[in-house]
Amino acid sequence: MEIVGKDISTVKVVFNGAGASAISCATLYLSLGVRPENLLMCDSKGVIHSERTGLTHEKLGFARETPLRELSEAIAGADVFVGLSKGNILTPDMILTMAADPIVFALANPDPEIQYELAKATRDDLIMATGRSDNPNQVNNVLGFPYIFRGALDVHATQINEPMKLAAVRAIAELAKEPVPEIVNLAYGSRNLTFGPDYIIPKPFDPRLIYTVSSAVARAAMESGVAKTSIANWDAYEEELRSRLGRDDKFIRLVMEKAKTNPKKVVFNEADNYRVLKAAQIVLEEGIAEPILLGDVNRIQALNEEYSLGLEEVQIIDVKSFHVPRISEYADVYYKWRQRKGVGVDEARRNMRNRDYYGPMMVRMGDADAYITGSMVKYPRAVKPVLEILGPKDHSRTVAGVYVMLTKRGPRFFADTTMNQDPSAERLAQIACEAAAMVRKMNIEPRIALLSYSNFGSSAEGKTPRKMREALRIIREREPGLIVDGEMQANFAVDNTLLQEQFPFSDLVGKEPNIFVFPGLSSANISYKLLQSMGSMEAVGPLLIGLNYPAHVLQLGSSVREIVNAAAMAVIDAQSREVAD
């Protein structure tokens, strides 16, 4: 009704089918505001009217005083058709007689009352829903019944009453108007599902249903007096419902919430790509960050209009355009930094016309707080300008890449997964300490395992075990309070019971490690990609550590979800540096 601009109290509704589902849905429509005299119901014998005999008690409640006898007569001028009957009973000619902007719910399965393609070809002002997953607007009972019962059970409701059902209806309807999670867009092969004629109801795969519908039903049960117990902390209840989804994304939710407490300006390079632009929309709408879009302005504006992203007020910078903020000043400063490293004046100016250089300079010059790049180009190309402009002043420091692996036992941080091929013991110690600092920013106590193919000196002559033992010595010398141990094999690092049985002296006994430092790039990169590819864990990153400014270089082809996660991490990094300053 909202989409077509009609008042529910004036619309004419026709039901075809008079079984349990039709009676229940029609009753609900009346509760929502459809006037009884405007609702006609048909069964296999035609219109249910007041002169018919032999009607059941349920059908009697929908008998109307009307001269209409057949479905074809009843549907003429109707605003809404609801089919809960059998396939192919509704004809194109019947649809043509309906009012302007008609709504057709053809819900018979597996064949609807009229095929979706035929109905849409008959009228282009039609909003249509079916029970089929291969058509838009699938009406599926899993949208409601699991979560209605979840909410009812959680408050020990003595019945499922009309207020609880209406609460579920309104929760589902409101959810359809919310921005759709990228995981749902991906699952249904869409780029940007948005509320409108082809998206009037959430998709069954939407993970938000469990905590929106269940919470609404539980609250309605309490308010209507049928709950035998109550929920005092709704935030905790929602968190508990989220945990039932089976994937542990609590860490990501905490990161998002922390980022929202103090959003920062984040530069999104390659914003003329849909995935990057969609990520920018999400961080803006969720209050995670204030995005700055770097890329071809015409392409960005076209994508924004095509997918109705709502980014009209967001700053767009096209370094190829005539007016680029502070570009001459950026070039002069960059030249002064790099003039003794082979960069001339002309090259400095050319580089500032390259968004890969201009973006990091915005952060370095204080015009932005963090920088995200890399989803459209190979990692070495993306990371080079970041290291030049945002890298450590002290070149003895190590910049490294960390992947966050999301597990049911909490997040696990893998380092170094992207940068240092065969780091020395000194560099491994720096990587470990930088990773620990990053983890602390997430309000997590760091506990580090230094990995190898041996355990605590069992292979005394090997180069790798010696390197890891030396790294342990350096770490303990520099940060005596840090929980760290090694060298150890991976199975002992992840199985604390096994570690206690075989090596009870380890500092990690009873303190399961959450940071895993690998002896080299090959082992780290292979490990995270194997776990990610086999579906064992979800990976977030890579996140750069050791930089002087917040920036993350993503892997080529990163998803929208990965870009959003990296942006939130960058915001937290910027927040922590602000506090430190």
Report CA-CA distances (Å) from 153 to 147, 162, 209, 223, 244.
10, 16, 16, 15, 15
Domain ranges for the chain, please list them. Answer: 13-139, 143-246, 257-390, 400-546
Give the tokens for residue 237. 């209840």
- Give the CB-side neighbour count of residue 3, counting CA atoms within 13 A: 20
Q: In which band, very low, low, confident or very high, does the pLDDT at 182 lie, cut at 50, 70 and 90? A: low
248: pLDDT strictly greater than 60 = no
Note whether 143-246 and 257-390 share their fold.
yes
220: pLDDT strictly greater than 80 = yes
Residues 13-139, CATH architecture: 3-Layer(aba) Sandwich (3.40)
User: What mean pLDDT is reported for the chain?
Assistant: 89
Q: Are 173 and 202 in contact (CB under 8 A)?
A: no
At residue 250, the pLDDT reads: 67
pTM greater than 0.75 (yes/no): no
Q: Are 363 and 370 in contact (CB under 8 A)?
A: yes
> pLDDT tens digit string along 456-513?
888 767 889 999 999 999 999 999 999 999 889 999 999 999 999 999 999 999 899 9
Q: Percent of the chain scored above 90 by pLDDT?
A: 59
Which one has a higher pLDDT value, 255 or 483?
Answer: 483
Order of strands, sheet of 80-83, starting from the edge strand that comes earlier in the sequence: 46-47, 39-43, 13-16, 80-83, 103-106, 127-130
Q: Are 144 and 217 in contact (CB under 8 A)?
A: no
Residue 549 DSSP label: S
Q: Are 364 and 549 in contact (CB under 8 A)?
A: yes
> pLDDT tens digit string along 357-402?
999 999 999 999 999 998 888 888 888 899 888 887 566 678 888 9
Q: Are 567 and 283 in contact (CB under 8 A)?
A: yes
Q: Are 303 and 274 in contact (CB under 8 A)?
A: yes
Report CA-CA distances (Å) from 272 to 161, 292, 301, 444, 555.
50, 12, 9, 36, 17
Q: In which band, very low, low, confident or very high, does the pLDDT at 580 lie, cut at 50, 70 and 90? A: low
At residue 36, the pLDDT reads: 95
Q: At 139, which amino acid appears?
A: V
Residue 297 CB partners (closer than 8 Å, separation 6+): 316, 318, 321
For residue 466, give the H/E element and its range.
helix 463-478
> pLDDT tens digit string along 326-340?
999 999 998 988 888
Q: Are 4 and 103 in contact (CB under 8 A)?
A: yes
Residues 400-546, CATH architecture: 3-Layer(aba) Sandwich (3.40)
Report CA-CA distances (Å) from 460 to 258, 424, 456, 503, 522.
45, 17, 9, 17, 22
Q: Are 200 and 129 in contact (CB under 8 A)?
A: yes
Q: How far apart are the first and last CA of the chain?
A: 54
Rounded to whole angstroms, the Cα distance separating 132 from 123 reads 20
Residue 555 DSSP label: P
Strands (E), 301-439: 315-317, 370-373, 400-407, 410-415
Domain 143-246 annotated CATH 3.40.50.720: yes
Instruction: Report the relative pairing of strands 315-317 and 370-373 from DSSP bridges.
Output: unpaired
Which one has a higher pLDDT value, 185 or 232?
Answer: 232
> pLDDT tens digit string along 87-99?
999 999 999 999 9
For residue 83, give the H/E element and its range.
strand 80-83
Q: What is the DSSP string of 319-340?
A: TTSS--TTHHHHHHHHHHHHGG
Task: Return the CATH fold of 257-390.
Answer: Rossmann fold (3.40.50)
Segment 225-241 mean pLDDT: 90
